């Protein structure tokens, strides 16, 4: 099979999976009585979703959170996960330092590590 065709199929599958998860999250909320709808939770107890209007605090917590040791955090809006860029930068720097055989000149030691 042609590599570009394989990539197109993979993209199509990812779009369909995302659409299916979004529809499942919405139907999960619509099945609840109206006063109990929170518009955030987990689909099938695993995939997080949040359809509330995003706040700056939730956006910051999703994308730059030094207090959270996880690389993948709940999204501020939508279905799935976000990347905690603070944690990603920490891991990349640690990997770079490990490959180069150097120690961080005070930078990593001042960061919170999990």
Instruction: Work out the mean pLDDT of the chain and round it to a whole number.
Output: 91
Spell out the domain ranges in the chain: 3-110
Contacts of 80 (CB under 8 A, 6+ apart): 18, 21, 47, 48, 49
Q: How confident is the model at residue 105 (pLDDT cuts 50, 70, 90)?
A: low
Q: How far is CA 26 from its chain centroid?
A: 19
Asked whether the predicted pLDDT for residue 83 surpasses 90, the reply is yes
pLDDT of residue 92: 95
């Amino acid at each position: 099979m042609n590599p570009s065709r394989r990539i197109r199929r993979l993209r199509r599958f990812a779009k369909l999976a995302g659409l299916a998860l979004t529809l499942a999250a919405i139907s999960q909320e619509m099945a609840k009585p109206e006063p109990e709808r929170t518009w955030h939770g987990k689909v099938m107890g695993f995939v997080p979703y949040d359809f509330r209007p995003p706040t700056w605090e939730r956006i910051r917590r999703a994308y730059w959170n030094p207090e959270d040791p996880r690389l993948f955090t709940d999204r501020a809006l939508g279905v799935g996960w976000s990347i905690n860029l603070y944690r990603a930068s920490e891991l990349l720097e640690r990997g770079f330092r490990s490959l180069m055989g150097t120690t961080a000149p005070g930078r990593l030691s001042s960061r919170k590590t999990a």
